[in-house]
Chains A and B, each alone.
Chain A
């Protein structure tokens, strides 16, 4: 089974702290994504990456940055955490457009971040 592992299940940080959320996948997927999930708002795309060292902004990139130095790892960085970034963060990965598994996202369990 494909596994997408998010390093922290729960985090509590203070306003202004720098926060790193790590995500690792073990199926050689080209594509990786970061979403945040908030009640009533569904999933909103923050950033995604189609290849190593590549990144694309999603719908809500403000206040976030990402890093993809290795194919299997995609990190989400909050440079200066704010209370409105309290949320559930979901990492996902997928193959590029090929084969029956193409386009199907496999999600991690999520990282619930609370910013005080």
Chain B
């Protein structure tokens, strides 16, 4: 069965510093990997996805994620954090023919 783990409940960074939000997954076949973001009192928004191709995927708002097959990871990164990046981030995974399964979420707090 597919599963996804976000090992950190909260990540704190200072504005201007790089940020990483971690995600690991487990699937039996090739993974389809996603990151979504939920800003306070708003719905979930799609950030980026990896289906196939380059291991480094670029998405919205300057975010990127690196697919690492050997470590079964798909960490979300941004070179320079903004206070407005503060939100709840969800990693998600699916196998072909199944529905998307989400992690428990990581709260990102960026301080000024």
A104 in contact with B105 (CB, 8 Å): no
B44 contacts chain A at the CB level, 8 A cutoff: yes
A-B interface pairs (CB < 8 A), number: 52
B99 touches A48 (CB 8 A): yes
Size class of the contact patch on chain B: 20 to 34
In this assembly, does A21 line the interface, its C-beta being within 8 Å of a C-beta of chain B?
A: no
Contacting pair A43 B102 (CB below 8 A): yes
- Per the bound structure, the CA–CA distance linking A90 and B36 in Å amounts to 14
Smallest beta-carbon distance B90→chain A, Å: 6
Q: How far is it, in angstroms, between the C-alpha of A105 and the C-alpha of B102 when the chains are bound?
A: 12
Q: Are A109 and B43 in contact (CB under 8 A)?
A: yes
* CB < 8 Å neighbour of B105 from A42, A48, A92: A42
CB nearest to A97 among chain B residues: B96
A8 interface residue, CB < 8 Å from B? Answer: no
Kindly state whether residue B78 has any CB partner on chain A within 8 Å: no
Using a CB–CB distance below 8 Å, which chain B residues touch chain A? 6, 9, 32, 34, 36, 42-46, 49, 51, 90, 92, 94, 96, 99-105
